[in-house]
Amino acid sequence: MTDAWLDAIRWTEDGLVPVVVQQRDSGKILMFAWMNRESLSLTVKEGYAVYWSRSRRKLWRKGEESGHRQKVIDLLLDCDEDVILLKIEQQGGIACHTGRESCFYRRLVDGQWQIAEPVLKDPETIYTKS
């Protein structure tokens, strides 16, 4: 398979595309991230999510430190060809670096952000220092 399919995507000026990540069986949105051509190509080739870290300016294999990898079940492109939806199986049940299932764990209630999801695992025990 060639990478010509990547040309159909409308990349940002920085060469990125936003990615919404959804748990396949529940439909729950777990996180938002960015991909570049290389990370999206690797995601398809390897079958596991590879993102582009804007802050670290490098490829980021989800779960490389925590073990909470994301097995890609389906990959969809939106109608404007500028957003990717990944339907995944989240290994370990934790997608967020805070130790929660989802990065979207705060809910606006009466003008204040309230925590709506518990920490499933202490982040200090999840991540290893290099």
Query: Domains in the chain, ordered, with CATH?
Result: 4-126 (3.10.20.810)
pTM: 0.91
Can you tell me the distance from the alpha carbon of 115 to that of 95, in angstroms, rounded to the nearest whole number? 16
Can you tell me the distance from the alpha carbon of 9 to that of 6, in angstroms, rounded to the nearest whole number? 6
pLDDT in tens, the chain (130 residues): 677 999 999 999 999 999 999 999 999 999 999 999 999 999 999 999 999 999 999 999 999 888 999 999 999 999 999 999 999 999 999 999 999 999 999 999 999 999 999 999 998 888 765 4
81-83-86-87 Cα dihedral, nearest 10 degrees: -80
Alpha-carbon torsion (75, 120, 26, 82), positive or negative = negative
What pLDDT shows up at residue 128?
Answer: 64
